[in-house]
Structure 1
Amino acid sequence: MSENENEHVHTPRDLFGYRLIRDELIPDLLGNHSKDILYWAGKKLARNYPCHNEGELIAFFDRADWGNLSILKQKNDEILFELSGQPVLERFNHHDPVFTLEAGFAAEQIAMIKQYQTEAVYTRNKKNCVQIELKWDLKEPYDLPSRKAKK
């Protein structure tokens, strides 16, 4: 294995700290609002780390150790991603994780790329992967939230 390939091989020990904070501490701190807050936090993170295309979005997920993001299907106003890999499996093995942070991040990235308001929902499939379905509204142009507040 090359040095580059070895960088992204994770062991359960590598992901322990991430799981501890993400799947135990944050839900305890945020309570019933955890899913909603994580979704909007994902959107905020996306504005701080903009991707210019789907390839950069896929690379970001890998770099953030969120898992392997791949495109399953794409249409005129929607895209279906699959999130898989060791980080996802580890989270499923030790908890009942939520993926609203990732969904919110993907929604905002696609909104910025496509320039239309975009929303996302995720589902866990039988292969222990997560599918993130994004739909954008061709009648609703994208505008940064900060711009709207200044008007």
Structure 2
Amino acid sequence: MKNTTFQEQYKLLENIPLSGFGYELIREILLPELLGKETAPVLYWAGKSLARKYPLETMEEIIAFFEKAGWGTLTIVSEGKNELEFELTSPLIAARFSYKEDCTFQLEAGFLAQQIEQQKKLVTEAYEQQKKRAKKVIFTVKWDRKDPIVE
């Protein structure tokens, strides 16, 4: 694969209409069938891997990436000394909650964890909390100031 930024790839692909049904077939039907009970951890790892391939320098770039990737609207809810809380909403998330008993947002969680880790240079983890009635996902991203990344 050529080294291209997500903005370059987005420009090439932005006018190609994509079916939400087709996306969900892969994301919520095929991947869990292939990965079984390892689906969530593999998706978390995959999100971290994507973040390393598409390093983003600012929170605004992370928010734009989520929108352009079709993952939804990412909003910062709160920011503390050692954590950030995000809210993710989209029509696709609302639909997923209405037809799927158990789904995971570990791809997005892993992506967030790795992006924040790269920005802060501290070991970081992200946790998802599904709010099915409100049709949104809350991500809590935590880092440890005593655990810097050694490069």
Classify the TM-score, shorter chain. Answer: 0.7 to 0.9
The alignment status of 1:25 with 2:30, answered yes or no, reads yes
Q: 2:120 aligns with which of 109, 114, 133?
A: 114
**Alignment partner, residue 84 of structure 1:** 89
**Alignment partner, residue 3 of structure 1:** none
Structure 2: how far apart are the matches of 1:90 and 1:14?
A: 13
User: After the TM superposition, which segments of 4 or more aligned residues of structure 1 sit over 2 Å from their partners?
Assistant: none
Structure 2: how far apart are the matches of 1:90 and 1:17?
A: 13
Structure 1: how far apart are the matches of 2:135 and 2:84?
A: 20
Structure 1: how far apart are the matches of 2:90 and 2:38?
A: 27
**Alignment partner, residue 147 of structure 2:** 140
Shift of 1:97: 1.7
Structure 2: how far apart are the matches of 1:87 and 1:58?
A: 17
Structure 2: how far apart are the matches of 1:131 and 1:70?
A: 10
**Alignment partner, residue 99 of structure 1:** 105
Count of residue pairs the alignment pairs up = 135
* Paired letter, 2:115: Q
Structure 2: how far apart are the matches of 1:60 and 1:47?
A: 13
> Tell me, which stretches of 5 or more residues in structure 1 are unaligned?
1-6
Shift of 1:89: 1.3
* Paired letter, 2:145: L
Shift of 1:93: 2.4
Structure 2: how far apart are the matches of 1:91 and 1:65?
A: 14
Deviations 1:115-146 (A, max 9, x none): 10100110111311000000001011124xxx
Compute the TM-score of the two structures, normalised by the length of structure 2.
0.84
> Tell me, which stretches of 5 or more residues in structure 2 are unaligned?
1-13
Shift of 1:94: 2.5
**Alignment partner, residue 69 of structure 2:** 64
Structure 1: how far apart are the matches of 2:67 and 2:61?
A: 10
- Identical counterparts, % of pairs: 44
Structure 2: how far apart are the matches of 1:32 and 1:111?
A: 26
